[in-house]
């Protein structure tokens, strides 16, 4: 849970005072372990405030040590990130300062949530997921193992992203050329599903409740409810919000298994 920056600073502090204040360093280590293991919001808050208070006491005892006083505001600002909501993160996950994480969200092994990213409530991020700066996730977004969402990606509510799906944010990358000013946005609409090992080329919108088949390579806009497959991905049908096939008749009308009516007109499918 702790960022590498804070971990390194606290490690330097412990090494500096280990011989002179072994009892204080031991207490600090125990509290830091408890903070990282805590899964409940109030528990994290309580331990975090205790650590901050103890750092202030150490600084005073060490004649207002400048290094400790430098750590205190960093810890205080980071505490907002780590205690703002009741989410779960595995001890191996890294959450940077200024990341916003909604209640009931779960972040699993070895994932990295970077600063200035934002996710809603009840999201679930599997193992080895990277959420880059300024990425936005809605509520109940589920991301399976080994997925990296780069700056420019936005997911609306109820999006599903399968394992090892690939996203990009630059169309013509070169290692020697910096193209951060050329990042292109990719919007994944509400309820859309991205299959395992699919690739989403940046700069396109995936429509709401669209379904991208496993291994497909999306290189263009995807309509709402569209079923896409192949390399490059082409539309092969329609899917409803529950993930069942829709088959419009000659008049463009279709009815889902749950009885919802749809109308196909000018290549666009809409719920009536």
The pair of structure tokens assigned to 234 is 């082409």
Mean pLDDT throughout 116-145? 97
Contact 20, 1 (CB under 8 A): no
Distance CA 32, CA 263 (A): 57
Residues 6+ positions from 250 with CB-CB distance below 8 Å:
none
SS3 114: coil
Closest C-alpha among 86, 120, 114 to residue 98: 114
Contact 212, 195 (CB under 8 A): yes
Under the banding of pLDDT at 50, 70 and 90, the label for residue 1 is low
Contact 105, 123 (CB under 8 A): yes
SS3 179: coil
Full-model pTM: 0.73
Under the banding of pLDDT at 50, 70 and 90, the label for residue 19 is confident
Contact 92, 74 (CB under 8 A): no
Average pLDDT score over the chain: 89
Quick one: pLDDT at residue 86? 73
> Is residue 82 pLDDT above 90, yes or no?
no
């Amino acid at each position: 849970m702790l960022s590498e920056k804070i971990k390194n600073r606290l490690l330097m502090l412990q090494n500096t005072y280990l011989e002179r204040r072994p009892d204080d360093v031991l207490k600090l280590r125990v509290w830091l372990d408890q903070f990282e293991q805590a899964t409940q919001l109030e528990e994290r808050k309580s331990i975090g405030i205790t650590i901050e208070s103890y750092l202030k006491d150490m600084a005073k005892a060490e004649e207002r040590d400048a290094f400790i006083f430098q750590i205190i505001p960093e810890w205080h600002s980071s505490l907002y990130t780590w205690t703002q909501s009741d989410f779960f993160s595995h001890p191996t996950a890294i959450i940077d300062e200024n990341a916003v994480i909604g209640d009931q969200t779960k972040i699993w092994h070895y994932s990295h949530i970077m600063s200035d990213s934002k996710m809603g409530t009840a999201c679930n991020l599997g193992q080895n997921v990277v959420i880059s700066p300024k990425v936005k996730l809605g509520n109940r977004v589920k991301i399976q193992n080994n997925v990296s969402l780069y700056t420019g990606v936005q997911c609306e509510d109820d999006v599903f992203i399968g394992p090892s799906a690939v996203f990009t944010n630059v169309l013509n990358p070169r290692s020697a050329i910096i193209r951060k000013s050329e990042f292109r946005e990719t919007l994944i609409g509400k309820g859309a599903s991205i299959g395992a090992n699919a690739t989403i080329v940046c700069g396109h919108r995936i429509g709401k409740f669209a379904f991208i088949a496993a291994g497909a390579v999306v290189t263009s806009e995807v309509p709402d409810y569209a079923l896409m497959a192949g390399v490059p991905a082409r539309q092969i049908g329609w899917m409803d919000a529950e993930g069942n096939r829709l088959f419009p008749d000659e008049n463009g009308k279709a009815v889902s298994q749950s009885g919802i009516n749809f109308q196909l007109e000018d290549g666009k499918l809409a719920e009536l």
